[in-house]
Chain A
Amino acid sequence: MKETAEPPPALGAALTPRKRRAVTERFFQLLFFTCAAVSVLTTAGIVITLLGETIQFFGEVPVLDFLTGTRWTPLFASQHFGVLPLVNGTIAVALVAISVAVPVGLLTAIFLSEYASVRLRSVVKPILEVLAGIPTVVYGYFALLFVTPILRGVFPQTQIFNVASAGIVMGFMILPMMASISEDALRAVPRDLREGAYALGATRLEVVTRVVVPGALSGVLAAVILSVSRAIGETMIVAIAAGLQPRMGFDLLSSMETMTAYIVQVSLGDTPQDTIEFSTIFAVGTLLFVMTFVMNVLSDFFVRRYREAYE
């Protein structure tokens, strides 16, 4: 200890002068801060605009009517502002998408993390990434021009625009995200635990179903929630393939309008701005924002839980 009390002078001389470093240091600090500030301000700006317009809208339409009404006809002579049909359509499409994406995605993740050889994995992963990189408009036309005709072949009563076709294709769009987040969660389950189970005479299937998947459960749940959130917010596929008819019920072969499709319909249509009809899209947008926000917070909560679990 005594020898180190006074460092030899050569060591001190080798240090960089503080001043120059300090200037570059401050420059980058400022740069990073500015970039971070831009995104925060943008978000704040969007939220404020949205809220402002929404508050105006609720000055004319009671919140309760909006949230509980089952008729949505703002563009017709007899106006009704009950948003439930749009919510209904959104949930219907999301449910179809989730029932494709979650099981297929989870099984893909299990395959990649537990069964695939290194080589097979190096083939399957890029294919999934390609799937994730396809523009959603392509998925939309794929649903309309390829999946819908098949559905009509099987169920003749299927409408041209329908929930099932849009939902199924949306499921495949979400699949890569579901698979990749779940795979990360499965891989985060320590090797120790797998070996512990194998050493007790568990088969691979038993290790997967009773150790790996339960161990990764919160991560898998986070993936499910993010997928739901993605399905709720997805716009292009539903605008192209699911139709524009606000409707209650769960007849998946018929056309329904989702919240996102409605926003597209009005913003691209000839509805004059500064009318109550036009400001409906802000109210619907706010509701959509709240829904996806809650989903993302939930999934964040689960992700944090599974990160902590093994540390």
Chain B
Amino acid sequence: MIDLRVRERPDLRPTAAAAASNGQTDIVLMARGLSFWYGDTQVLDGIEIDVPGRQVTAIIGPSGCGKSTFLRCFNRMNELVPGTRVEGAVVFGGRQINDRAVDPVEVRRRIGMVFQKPNPFPKSIYDNVAYGPRVNGFRGSMDDIVESSLRRAALWNEVKDDLKKSGLALSGGQQQRLCIARALAVEPDVLLMDEPCSALDPIATTRIEDLIRELCEQLTIVIVTHNMQQAARVSDRTAFFTVTDAGCGILVEHSETQKLFTSPADERTEAYITGRFG
């Protein structure tokens, strides 16, 4: 495979100096005044959020309030949709990443994503996991990275005897864990998850939730969920988004999960978590 990329690849890792001057070394991701448009329709307005490292941050809110759109700002996936526009800053490890000078490919390598519907490639389990390392020019033992990624995604024991089997031949829950393994194989610092359990049954959901708790010891997780119990179960912090009458998503409240669910500061949050919101 010839690499045709002729692009500057700035190092996104925060320098020690930057981290020190920052003071708050544990904030991995930040959004500052983040607004977003699909064509002329604004769907996010002035989002400000700090995401601490090695924790799980949940994003909840009514359907259509822009949770997915917001999540996809972090790995610049929205750029793939023609006619979109971002204002404000997304900061990762002290560096603004929604900037022309920053290669989105590099951003996505460092900030992985798991989607709502499991989307394994129509390839073998092995090739699914090896895809990321391969496109990122990984040199080393592919077998090792495939095995360790599958182990981290708690899938190894179920598939180790047949890694040549198609990823599509797995159950929904296994497919989603395969997608998590695939994301982990690139060794990202952050994992974005957009309703990763919404297509799964309760048992598969529990397995993924357990996995999220294990993974957050090594990386930072931001998860969008419709399920408030799930947010309460898996997250350390929760952000509540809502949608204004103009159809624009805003961040209402962001605090420790326990606090948000037991003593919300905003009445809109309270209305939502007690089920008084449509």
Task: List the interface of chain A (C-beta within 8 A of B).
Answer: 117-118, 190, 192-203, 205-206, 209-211, 214-215, 309
Chain A hits for B182, CB < 8 A: 196, 200
B105 A197 Cβ-Cβ under 8 A: no
Q: A200-B136, A202-B135, A203-B135 are in contact. List 18 more A-B contacts (CB 8 A).
A: A118-B82, A193-B119, A193-B121, A195-B77, A196-B120, A198-B77, A199-B183, A201-B106, A201-B108, A201-B186, A202-B105, A203-B4, A205-B4, A211-B121, A214-B122, A214-B123, A215-B121, A215-B122
Asked if A200 meets B119 with Cβ closer than 8 Å, knowing A118-B82, A195-B80, the reply is no
Chain B hits for A214, CB < 8 A: 122-123
Asked if A196 meets B115 with Cβ closer than 8 Å, knowing A201-B186, A203-B105, A205-B4, the reply is yes
Asked if A201 meets B136 with Cβ closer than 8 Å, knowing A196-B179, A210-B131, the reply is yes
Task: Give min CB distance, A120 to chain B, whole Å.
Answer: 12
With both beta carbons as reference points, the residue of chain B lying nearest to A211 in the complex is identified as: B121
Q: Looking at chain A's contact residues, is the secondary structure mostly helix, strand, loop, or mixed?
A: helix
- Size range of the chain B interface in the assembly: 20 to 34
B122 A200 Cβ-Cβ under 8 A: no
A197 B131 Cβ-Cβ under 8 A: yes
Task: Give min CB distance, B86 to chain A, whole Å.
Answer: 17
A197 B121 Cβ-Cβ under 8 A: yes
Task: Give min CB distance, A122 to chain B, whole Å.
Answer: 13
With both beta carbons as reference points, the residue of chain B lying nearest to A192 in the complex is identified as: B119
Q: B35 at interface (Cβ–Cβ under 8 A)?
A: no
B80 A198 Cβ-Cβ under 8 A: yes
Partner pick for A210 among B77, B135, B179, B183, CB 8 A cutoff: B135
How many A-B contacts are there with CB distance less than 8 Å? 71
B82 A117 Cβ-Cβ under 8 A: yes
Give the 5 A-B CB pairs with smallest separation, nearest first: A201-B109, A200-B132, A192-B119, A199-B113, A196-B119
Chain B hits for A199, CB < 8 A: 75, 77, 108, 112-113, 115, 183
Chain A hits for B109, CB < 8 A: 200-201
Q: B5 at interface (Cβ–Cβ under 8 A)?
A: yes
Chain A hits for B123, CB < 8 A: 214
In the complex, chain B residues 157-214 whose Cβ is within 8 Å of any chain A Cβ: 179, 182-183, 186
Expressed in whole angstroms, the Cα–Cα distance for A205 and B120 within the complex equals: 19
Chain A hits for B135, CB < 8 A: 197, 200-203, 206, 210
Partner pick for B131 among A190, A200, A209, A215, CB 8 A cutoff: A200
Chain B hits for A210, CB < 8 A: 131, 135
Q: B268 at interface (Cβ–Cβ under 8 A)?
A: no
- 19 A-B pairs whose Cβ atoms sit less than 8 Å apart in the complex: A117-B82, A193-B121, A196-B115, A196-B120, A196-B179, A197-B131, A197-B135, A199-B77, A200-B108, A200-B186, A201-B106, A201-B135, A202-B105, A202-B132, A205-B4, A206-B1, A209-B1, A214-B123, A309-B122
Chain A hits for B122, CB < 8 A: 193, 214-215, 309
With both beta carbons as reference points, the residue of chain B lying nearest to A217 in the complex is identified as: B122
Q: B117 at interface (Cβ–Cβ under 8 A)?
A: yes
Task: Give min CB distance, A218 to chain B, whole Å.
Answer: 11
Chain B hits for A203, CB < 8 A: 4-5, 105, 135
With both beta carbons as reference points, the residue of chain B lying nearest to A194 in the complex is identified as: B80
A195 B105 Cβ-Cβ under 8 A: no
Expressed in whole angstroms, the Cα–Cα distance for A190 and B117 within the complex equals: 12
Chain B hits for A202, CB < 8 A: 105, 131-132, 135
B80 A201 Cβ-Cβ under 8 A: no
Expressed in whole angstroms, the Cα–Cα distance for A17 and B253 within the complex equals: 61
Chain A hits for B132, CB < 8 A: 200-202
A190 B82 Cβ-Cβ under 8 A: no
Task: Give min CB distance, B78 to chain A, whole Å.
Answer: 11
